[in-house]
Amino acid sequence: MASFPEELILGRIQWHGKYGTSYGYLEETMLEHGLEVDHTALCRWAPHYTPEMEKREREYWKLSMRQNLRNGPTPAILDNLREKMRRTRLFLQATQARESRTPSL
């Protein structure tokens, strides 16, 4: 799909989902690091790489929950995990809504 490393793409898509940055801002930050990419490419990458990102985050959450359960989860930890899952859900819903509105070529 792209000639960029997958880790780089996943990192940028994660920034978009986590911090709500625009594709244009991501394009500018990548250009600052010497990578020329169009914001429309980032728009295409988001739906393609979101399932992979979600899978990796889910594994991370499982590991962190396992570790926290040994010590007993605090309400703050549980609230943080709930917020992360809520943001991921909202990001996926927005991505799916954008896909359904975009006409096929």
pLDDT of residue 103: 63
pLDDT of residue 1: 46
- pLDDT tens track for 4-49: 777 777 777 777 777 777 888 888 888 888 888 888 888 888 788 7
- Global pTM value: 0.44
- pLDDT tens track for 47-98: 887 787 778 777 777 766 666 555 665 677 778 888 888 888 888 888 888 8
Buried/exposed 79-90: b ≥16 CB within 10 Å, e otherwise: eeeeeeeeebee
